[in-house]
Structure formats: C-alpha cells, structure tokens
C-alpha cells in the first residue's frame, strides 16, 4: 500500500521472453572474442597481452550468465597456463635458437647421432631464450583465453539457432564440439561434489579414475539423446531446388572462400597490399550470396530468432577496433609491440596501443548484467 492509502501493483519479475529479448546476440560475443584473439596475434609484448587477458576476464566476470555451460572459462585459463609451462619446459630441455649471455643453469648435454644435427638435449639455459619462449607462448595463451571467454558468454544453443540455413548442419557439429568442454566440466564438478557429500575422495589418481567412468557414461547418454533429438527434428533433410541453383550456390561459395583466402594473403604480405582489400571484399560478397542461396535448401523455421540490435553492433565494433588499432600499431611501431630479448631489457607499455585495448571493455557497460538465480517460494 502506498502513500495516501492507494494500492500499488507489485513489480513482477521479467518473463523468459523479456529476458531473451534483453540478452545480447551470441554471435556478437564470438566476434568480439575472436577480434581480441586476432589482436593478440599482432604482438608479443607481455604487458599488452596481459592487458588483453585482463579485459576479457573483466567482461566475463561481469557479464557471464549463471548457467552450467558458462563455467568453462577457468578450464581455458588452466589450459593457457599449461601451454606456458610446456613451452618453457621444451625450451629448457631442447634449447632455444635465440643466443644469450645470461646463463641461468647448465644441464647435462646428451650426445645425439649425426642425423639429428640441429637438435640439442640439455646444455645451457639462458634468460634470453626463456624470455623469448615466454613471450611467444603468451600469445597463444591469450588466444586460448579469448576463445574461453566466448564459450563462457555465448549461449551455444542460441548461437546454433542464429546460423544461416546453409551452415546449419556444419553449425550443429561445431556447436556440439564447442559445448564438449563446458558439459564435461559441469559433469566433473557435479560428480566431485556428490563424492564429497558421501565422504569419498575426489582428489588424486583414485578420485580421477572413479570420476572418469561416470563422466564417460554421461557423455555417451548425452550423445544418444542428442542424436535422437536431431533425428526427431529432421536434421539433414533438404528441399528440392533446381540443379542450376545448386551449381550457382557451389560456385559462389567456393569462389568466395578462395577470394577471402587470396585477399587475406594479400593483406598479410607487402606485395599484395594493392589487391588485398578489393579481392577480400569481393570474396566476402560472393560467399554471402552463396550462403543466401544455400539457405533455400533448408526446410526449417526459427522460433523467436535473436535480433541483431545496436548493442550487438557496438560489441562487435569494440572488438574490431581493438584488432584494427593493434594491426596499425604493429605496422607503425613494430619495436613497441615486439620487444627484443637480445640484449635483455624490460618491456615497456606503449600508451596508445594500451588505450586501444581498453576499448574492448565496452561490452561490460552496454550489455545487460546477468540475472541472479532466485529460488521460487514453495
């Protein structure tokens, strides 16, 4: 009851349809994350790479939904750390092509036969070689973490529903592959929690072996259920289209993909800078036309399709801006984005490329916050 004795209508919680309408298009999350990963490939500066990881982590922490498939980000972070450790271990054991004067330790060197010339086991381990390996491994680790951010932010089922009709079959396979890690992690966490409640060990080799069999059994049951659901929904069925339409679709799609490859190669090489952009644009246009024609073969409808609104454009543009600005920085000042290790000096943080990376934080402020799960009253 409000002031003056008037009754006020209770504020109702948003319906599932309203929550779906407010959610961001999953394709925008993937394009944003892949753009950050592309930006990571243009630099080996550990400070810029650490800033890219921080930006993606902040967006994931603030905008990750409360769902089982969104818990895979930590697994990708652990995988990235494993990549770093393996690369440093290989550099320590096999040596590094980078010459160095700061010797950290000397391992016993194993003599190898003549046919293995150029390979070394053991010997000197220098600070320059380890630093070079760390910089190079951080680039791959940052790319893995960006892919993990996309897995944690984009709903895989909604992403599958948003694919063009021509890519539906391939999209199902890709989405099933991408959801393997989130589902596996959710199963392991659920089984470990159940074992702890029963007072059984969940760590070590014994706990891993006793958890592994139920996880594999659950994966098999999920695969069988998925196959039955796909068959019930008419997966793989196509409409009858004229032969000339099929040939035109194949020619446009193949020609478009070749144009995209040739244009990308032209952009990455100095000799092809003049023809790279026109060929790339023509290839993209031909591929899109082929996908549009190929979508006519798919006899399926969409229930409440996700809309690509202004926020999706802004999120995608923020990631693309980071990638474009780092491409520009790598061309104008390569020394700042690729610090040298001989002589061994501390890397410096270039100011305007760092400010460009911060543009990737835009999704944390323009997208809706995830809703906290509220238990319904009994």
The pLDDT profile of the chain, 378 residues, written as one tens digit per residue, is 444 455 454 444 455 444 555 678 888 999 999 999 989 988 999 999 999 999 999 999 999 888 777 778 888 999 999 999 999 998 888 877 788 788 888 888 777 777 766 677 777 888 888 999 999 999 999 999 999 999 889 887 777 666 665 566 666 666 666 666 667 777 777 777 887 787 776 676 666 667 777 777 777 777 777 767 766 766 656 666 677 777 787 788 788 878 888 877 776 665 555 666 788 788 888 877 877 776 666 656 666 667 888 899 999 999 999 999 998 998 888 888 888 888 888 888 889 999 999 999 999 999 888 764 333 333
Look at residue 295 in the predicted model and tell me its pLDDT.
63
Look at residue 216 in the predicted model and tell me its pLDDT.
74
Strand partners, 298: 238
Look at residue 118 in the predicted model and tell me its pLDDT.
66
CA distance to 185, 212, 238, per residue, from 66 (Å): 15, 25, 36
Measured CA to CA, the distance from residue 74 to residue 60 in angstroms comes to 11
Look at residue 370 in the predicted model and tell me its pLDDT.
79
Measured CA to CA, the distance from residue 331 to residue 337 in angstroms comes to 9
Measured CA to CA, the distance from residue 125 to residue 111 in angstroms comes to 17
SS3 117: coil
User: What is the maximum span of the chain, computed from C-alpha positions, in angstroms?
Assistant: 97
Look at residue 300 in the predicted model and tell me its pLDDT.
60
Find all residues with CB under 8 Å of 112, minimum gap 6, and list them. Answer: 119, 120, 121
Query: What DSSP line would sit under 9-22, residue for residue?
Result: ---PPPPHHHHHHH
Select from 54, 57, 38 the least CA-distant residue to 46: 54
Find all residues with CB under 8 Å of 262, minimum gap 6, and list them. Answer: 279, 280, 283
Residue 110: φ, ψ to 5°: -95, 125
Look at residue 268 in the predicted model and tell me its pLDDT.
64
With 0-12 CB in 10 A as exposed, 13-18 as middle and 19+ as buried, what is 84?
A: middle
How many C-beta atoms surround the C-beta of residue 116 within 10 A?
A: 10
Select from 322, 316, 323 the least CA-distant residue to 367: 316
- List b or e across 264-279, with b for residues whose CB sees 16 or more CB atoms inside 10 angstroms: eebeeeeebeeebeeb
Look at residue 355 in the predicted model and tell me its pLDDT.
93
């Amino acid at each position: 009851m409000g002031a003056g004795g008037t009754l006020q209508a209770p504020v109702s919680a948003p319906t599932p349809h309203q929550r779906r309408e407010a959610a961001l298009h999953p394709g925008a999350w993937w394009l944003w994350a892949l753009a950050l990963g592309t930006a990571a490939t243009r630099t080996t500066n550990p400070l810029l790479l650490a800033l890219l990881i921080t930006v993606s982590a902040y967006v994931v922490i603030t905008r990750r939904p409360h769902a089982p498939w969104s818990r895979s980000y930590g697994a990708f972070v652990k995988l990235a750390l494993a990549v770093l450790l393996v690369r440093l271990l290989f550099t320590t054991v096999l040596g590094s092509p980078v010459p160095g004067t700061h010797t950290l330790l000397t391992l016993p060197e194993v003599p190898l036969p003549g046919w293995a010339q150029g390979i070394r086991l053991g010997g000197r381990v220098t600070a320059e070689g380890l630093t070079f390996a760390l910089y190079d491994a951080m680039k791959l680790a940052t790319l893995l973490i960006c892919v993990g951010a996309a897995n944690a932010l984009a709903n895989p089922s909604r992403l599958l529903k948003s694919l063009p009709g021509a890519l539906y079959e391939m999209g199902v396979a890709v989405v099933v592959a991408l959801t393997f890690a989130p589902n596996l992690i959710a199963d392991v966490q659920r089984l470990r929690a159940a074992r702890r409640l029963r007072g059984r060990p969940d760590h070590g080799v014994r706990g891993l072996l006793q958890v592994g069999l139920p996880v594999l059994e659950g994966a098999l049951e999920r695969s069988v259920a998925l196959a039955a659901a796909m068959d019930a929904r008419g997966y793989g069925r196509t409409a009858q289209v004229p032969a000339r339409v099929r040939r035109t679709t194949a020619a446009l799609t193949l020609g478009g993909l070749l144009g995209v490859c040739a244009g990308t190669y032209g952009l990455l090489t100095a000799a092809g800078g003049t023809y790279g952009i026109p060929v790339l644009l023509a290839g993209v246009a031909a591929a899109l036309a082929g996908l549009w024609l190929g979508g006519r073969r798919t006899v399926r409808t969409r229930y409440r399709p996700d809309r690509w609104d202004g926020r999706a454009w802004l999120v995608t543009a923020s990631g693309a801006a980071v990638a474009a600005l780092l491409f520009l920085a790598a061309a104008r000042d390569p020394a700042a984005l690729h610090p040298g290790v001989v002589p061994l000096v501390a890397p410096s943080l270039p100011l305007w490329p760092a400010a460009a990376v911060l543009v990737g934080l835009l999704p944390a402020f323009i997208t809706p916050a995830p809703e906290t799960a509220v238990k319904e009253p009994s």
